[in-house]
Amino acid sequence: MVIFVIAIGALYALPNLYGEDPSVQISGTRGQQASADTLTQVQSALKTLNITPKAASLENGSILVRLEKDEQQLPAKEKIAEVLGDGYSVALNLAPATPQWLTSIGGEPMKRGLDLRGGVRFLMEVDMNTAMQKQQEQLQDTLRNNFRKEKLQYKAIRKSENHSTEIEFADAQTAEKAVRYVRRNHTTLEAAFIEPALVRFSPSVQGLSESRDIAIEQNLSILRKRVEELGVSEPIIQRQGADRIVVELPGVQDTARAKEILGATATLEFRLVNTNANAEQASRGIVPTDSELKSDRSGYPVVLFRKAVLGGEHIINATSGTDERGLPQVSITLDAAGGDLMANATKSAVGKPMATLYSEFKDSGRRDANGKVILEKHEEVINVATINSRLGSHFQITGINSPAEAQNLAVLLRSGALIAPIVIVEERTIGASLGADNITQGMEAGLLGLGLTILFCLVYYRVFGLFASTALIANLILTVGLMSLTGATLTMPGIAGIVLAVGMSIDANVLIYERIKEELRNRRSIQQAIHEGYNGAFSSIFDSNLTTVLVSLILYAVGTGPVKGFAITLALGVIVSMFTAITGTRMLVNWVYGGKRVKKLWI
């Protein structure tokens, strides 16, 4: 049994010896599938750079190109992105070089933290201008409703510079009442009279700062949800500076999908179609004031009312699937407020068409005077359906091109729409943050400590020291194999946890051997001394290791990042040491001394 367990552990630890290949991953945006033609284009692009890839494969609509050298990654990525255009997401990757026969049985290398070169780092910039415009529009809607309730008549509401709003009231007296009301209920707004009946409401310095902080914090929260959808362990998502966010994804494999999901700013709006408007006239610019012209994917014009029935902020769940005809669809679940809005809007619109408007912000390829990326808003109608009955909190949208696009759209809607568009300004595969020299020195120190421990065991306990050293090596193999099998992430503190577990494994053997020596001094027979040594020391070893595992669980529960990495490796190492230090060494002792007349014990 011991030999079988160690053999399985060694098998699943084996992938860690093969390393990783620098790679480039290509995936279609918005669920578009890469094809054999796309693979041909990629190979042609690499030929122009005189780069011969180690391998290039097409699987599940995504292309993975393995390269020979790290320095080939960036030129290859830039050239492929230039050739394929905006229809594809091109990202850097590190692909495991594990043989196929190992991967077929679930063998994968350990995920390594960013400090051990195991992930991707994205630096994202939030488009604060768009965020402030959205908040300005929300403020204007709020003020309209407030003034209607307070019966304060106004003639016009319009945007002004620096995210301020100008409101023209019916007369000067109404304007003064409105200013007093706003000052009481909207403390972050400052009011200034331009004319007796014309007032400019501007956000204060404190209000602008709070609005920016809210936009960043909401984006951070949504990005964390999206990372959870990607299944990444121990991610780092934090703010950097005034308008930037850093996302570090250790051990991530499909970096192209990560880039697409994190950077996407997809939102949905449900709007009624203006059936009274003429689409041909609208295409020539003749559009009713309460409507605007949009296009579907075929470029066909659709006239929609400007006021949305419902926005994506009311979506609390979204799942992808197929309809009764086998076509992809997304099932939407709304919150209570959204369900009421949808029910009220569709109650009087039965028999009328309603459109699903999809919008996202894309990099225009241009930069402003400050060097910031200029984003362009792209909108298209993905679905127009007739309302057959009053809708509520649950309904489906169709008109989606592929199951992959339905899945991506469901993920984006489920995790929430970003309060402000973000653009990835820097993307790179992370090397060791502590430096290659520090990591090498740390590994050398660990190996030196292991060597000295084995030397001490061999000198002091002789043959039994050989048993303990063999169990020590088996402990390392099983710990690595178990971490690879469970997908745990290894960090620099995690290596410290493994070294500590190794020390505790030797400590267990020391307790057993000293108990055997004590029984021999009490003139027990050799076989009795061995038996009592293992049985007598077991309770002490179990109690001490149990308390260590409990502390590790507490560290894992309350810690973050590297602390969790330390807790995982320590707990796994201690649990494995219970097997190797007790069961493993006893197997070796029984194999050498069991069932024999032994005159002297070399311990």
For residues 554 and 211, which has the higher predicted lDDT (pLDDT)?
Answer: 554
Rounded to the nearest 10 degrees, the angle between the axes of helix 436-461 and helix 492-521 is: 10
Report residue 108's pLDDT band, with 50, 70 and 90 as the boundaries: confident
Nearest Cα to Cα of residue 580 among 468, 456, 455, 420: 468
| pLDDT higher than 60, residue 433 | no
- State how far the alpha carbon of 361 is from the alpha carbons of 322, 418, 544, 556, in Å: 27, 11, 57, 38
- In this prediction, residue 4 carries a pLDDT of 92
Rounded Cα distance between 166 and 154, Å, is: 11
- On whether the CB atoms of residues 405 and 330 are closer than 8 A, the answer is no
Q: Among the listed ranges 193-197, 265-269, 593-597, which one has the minimum average pLDDT value?
A: 265-269
CA–CA separation, 500 vs 509, rounded Å?
A: 15
Domains of the chain: 20-97 (3.30.70.1510), 119-244 (no CATH), 266-417 (3.30.1360.200), 433-593 (1.20.1640.10)
Confidence at 115, pLDDT banded by 50, 70, 90: confident
H or E segment and range at residue 392: none
pLDDT at 358 over 90: no
Provide the pLDDT confidence category of residue 363 given band limits of 50, 70 and 90.
low
Per-chain mean pLDDT for the chain: 81
366-382: per-residue pLDDT in tens?
766 766 666 677 788 87
10/588 Cα distance (integer angstroms): 18
- Answer yes or no: pTM beyond 0.85: no
pLDDT of 435 over the 60 cut: no
For 241, the 3-state DSSP assignment is coil
Contact 210, 188 (CB under 8 A): yes
In terms of average pLDDT, the best of 219-233, 428-442, 489-503, 527-541 is: 527-541
- The encoded tokens of residue 266 equal 């997809």
Give first-to-last CA distance, the chain, whole Å.
26
Confidence (pLDDT) at 374: 67
Give the residue among 532, 524, 523 at the shortest CA–CA distance from 589.
Answer: 532
The closest of 436, 422, 268 to 354, measured between CA atoms, is 268
Instruction: Work out the burial of residue 148: count CB atoms within 10 Å of its CB; fewer than 13 is exposed, 13-18 middle, 19 or more buried.
Output: exposed
161 C-beta neighbours (distance < 10 Å), count: 8
Q: How far apart are CA 547 and CA 552, in angstroms?
A: 9
